[in-house]
Structure 1
Amino acid sequence: MTKFNGVHVALVTPMKKDYSVDFTRLTEICNWLIDEGVDGLVPAGSLGEYATLSHEERAKVVETVIEASNNRVPVIVGTGAAATQDVIYWAKHAKDNGAAGIMALPPINYNPLENEVIYHYKQLSNVGIPIIAYNNPRDYATDLTPDLLARLSKIENVVAVKEFSGDIRRVHDIIEKTDLEVLIGVDDLGMEGPLSGATGWISGVPNALPKEGIELFNLARAGKIEEALPLYRRLLPLFHFDAQPQLVQAIKYMMELAEQPAGPTRPPRLPLTNEEYIDIKNAFLLAKNKHVNV
């Protein structure tokens, strides 16, 4: 039985003009996304700019999202940190505040040995909260290959993987070699993932277009390719921004276009160029079936 079905939005952290966290907007965004029908919320991930938050801010972000959810949808908390003891701290904080699970990267501050990766997840398992292992070899040194995931899947509380390698063949291999739930992690596989057996999607662009993301995922999971494909092709130019280093700036601008503003990004993330904003706006209009500038 799967625990994390459907579309879970990797939340942005809304900021005010002075770069302070806008907790009021965070609550409003959570309520809007839940009303739009998302299946879960994921605070304190990469898209949430967790690495730029102070300890107090990060704790309050997690607590605000869990409070806003009010058990209407599960909350999966990102626990990324340099030291295993710090990841354990955030896992315990998530559990103590009522999170449904955590999204946990392998060690991030260097290229660890396989036994170190396994130790890392075993220590997290001792917290006693469901773990979604986060595989992101695009941005971090470790690649949680299907063979390594087969070993991790034997750890009691490792129940799923967020697969962000961008290689759709990984979904098939993980399903064959493990009993883990697979949540697709990169938006531009938002159709191929569920077609290949992914039961969940930890998504970025649905911060701005939740209904479209939900419709696409459900059509693909049901195998309705003829209905899913036109929608997917409209959304795909936007989805590509999710796989770029500037994904946070891009998705926050998409939210502004969707009339759900989330403010600026904290340095070192800086505003995009005018040309990039024009590209995002045109892709957004295409996704909404509106006029596109030529």
Structure 2
Amino acid sequence: MAKFEGVYVALVTPFTKNHEVDYEGLKELCNWLIQEGIDGLVPAGSLGEYATMTVDERAKVVETVIEAANGRVPVVVGSAAPSTKQAVYWLEHAKEKGAAGVMALPPINYKPLENEIIEHYRELNDVGIPIIAYNNPRDYPTDLTPELLSKLDQFENIVGVKEFTGDVRRIQAILEKTDLEVMVGVDDLAFEGALAGATGWISGVPNALPKEGVELFRLGREGKIQEGMELYKHQLPLYRYDASPQLVQYIKYMVELAGKPAGPTRPPRLPLSKEQYDSVKEAFQIAKKLTI
């Protein structure tokens, strides 16, 4: 059985109008998502705007989510940082505060050599908390190929991979070459990923449509193609925004449309145009047409 099974929401971080972290709003969002049936929470990822936070803010966001979850669902903490030492700090913090695991990128500031990638994960592994390696060659310089993942699979605490290439063929290749569980990383492959053997989905749009996302992924895992496609075709136009560089603005607006205040994004991310927000609203209304 997979350790991190089902739909894990990569949380947005609510802000006030003055761009301060809205910790109470974050608690409310977590409680609502859990009530709607999501399987886990992932704070302090890129969708959560971790890179704009101070160390104290980031730590408090993680602690707030763990406290809100209160053991009802697992919390997997984003640990991205410019150096291995800093990433180790976030793993140690997550472990100390009771997180179920962490999501860990390879070195992010330059294109590392293979031995540097392996050593980076070796040091993370030694902290002693379950790790989901995060493969995102769209936004970062490293591609954790199935062959490279097979080398990381030697580390006992690396148990899975968030696969964000957008190539559904990768899922089967990873399952063939490693013992890692695979979590879909891009929303517009959620259904195909489940059909291909992914046991989890670290998701963006389910911040706003949690119940619909959980149902879609369940249908994919159960191989119910006709039923799942009927739901998927309503959701897919919205899911495509998850792969955009402006995904944070888009998904925060979706959360607002769902009736949950999320506030602005922190600069350098700025508000989008009315036309862009209107297109999101139209896709959101399509996604809500098919109720479950």
TM-score grouping bracket, smaller chain normalisation: over 0.9
2:15 is matched with which residue?
A: 15
Separation in structure 2 between the aligned mates of residue 41 and residue 165 of structure 1, nearest angstrom? 22
2:191 is matched with which residue?
A: 191
**Aligned-residue offset at 1:289:** 1.1
Separation in structure 1 between the aligned mates of residue 129 and residue 204 of structure 2, nearest angstrom? 24
1:68 is matched with which residue?
A: 68
**Aligned-residue offset at 1:230:** 1.2
Q: Could you report, residue by residue, the CA deviation over 1:49-71 in whole angstroms, capped at 9, with x for unpaired residues?
A: 00000000000000000000000
Separation in structure 1 between the aligned mates of residue 172 and residue 187 of structure 2, nearest angstrom? 18
**Aligned-residue offset at 1:2:** 1.1
Read off the aligned partner of 2:249 and give its amino acid letter: Q
1:288 is matched with which residue?
A: 288
**Aligned-residue offset at 1:244:** 0.4
1:30 is matched with which residue?
A: 30
Matches within 5 A, 1:220-239: 220-239=220-239
Matches within 5 A, 1:270-289: 270-289=270-289
**Aligned-residue offset at 1:91:** 0.2
Residue 203 (1) aligns with residue 238 (2): no
Cα RMSD over matched residues?
0.6
1:243 is matched with which residue?
A: 243
1:42 is matched with which residue?
A: 42
- 3-state SS in 1 of match to 2:94: helix
Gaps of 5+ in 2: none
Residue 128 (1) aligns with residue 128 (2): yes
Separation in structure 1 between the aligned mates of residue 79 and residue 259 of structure 2, nearest angstrom? 29
Separation in structure 1 between the aligned mates of residue 180 and residue 203 of structure 2, nearest angstrom? 19
Separation in structure 1 between the aligned mates of residue 46 and residue 89 of structure 2, nearest angstrom? 18
1:101 is matched with which residue?
A: 101
Separation in structure 1 between the aligned mates of residue 276 and residue 184 of structure 2, nearest angstrom? 26
Read off the aligned partner of 1:247 and give its amino acid letter: L
Read off the aligned partner of 2:221 and give its amino acid letter: R
Read off the aligned partner of 2:113 and give its amino acid letter: L
2:87 is matched with which residue?
A: 87
Using the size of structure 1 for normalisation, the TM-score is 0.98
Q: Could you report, residue by residue, the CA deviation over 1:88-110 in whole angstroms, capped at 9, with x for unpaired residues?
A: 00000000000000000000000
Q: Could you report, residue by residue, the CA deviation over 1:243-292 in whole angstroms, capped at 9, with x for unpaired residues?
A: 000000000000111101200000000001111001000000000118xx
Would you say how many aligned residue pairs link Structure 1 and Structure 2?
A: 290
1:149 is matched with which residue?
A: 149
Read off the aligned partner of 1:143 and give its amino acid letter: D
Separation in structure 2 between the aligned mates of residue 59 and residue 29 of structure 1, nearest angstrom? 18
Using the size of structure 2 for normalisation, the TM-score is 0.99
Gaps of 5+ in 1: none
Read off the aligned partner of 1:205 and give its amino acid letter: V
Separation in structure 2 between the aligned mates of residue 230 and residue 119 of structure 1, nearest angstrom? 45
Q: Could you report, residue by residue, the CA deviation over 1:105-153 in whole angstroms, capped at 9, with x for unpaired residues?
A: 0000000000000000000000000000000000000000000000001
Separation in structure 1 between the aligned mates of residue 108 and residue 42 of structure 2, nearest angstrom? 19
**Aligned-residue offset at 1:203:** 0.1
Separation in structure 2 between the aligned mates of residue 92 and residue 283 of structure 1, nearest angstrom? 40
2:168 is matched with which residue?
A: 168
**Aligned-residue offset at 1:216:** 0.2
2:137 is matched with which residue?
A: 137
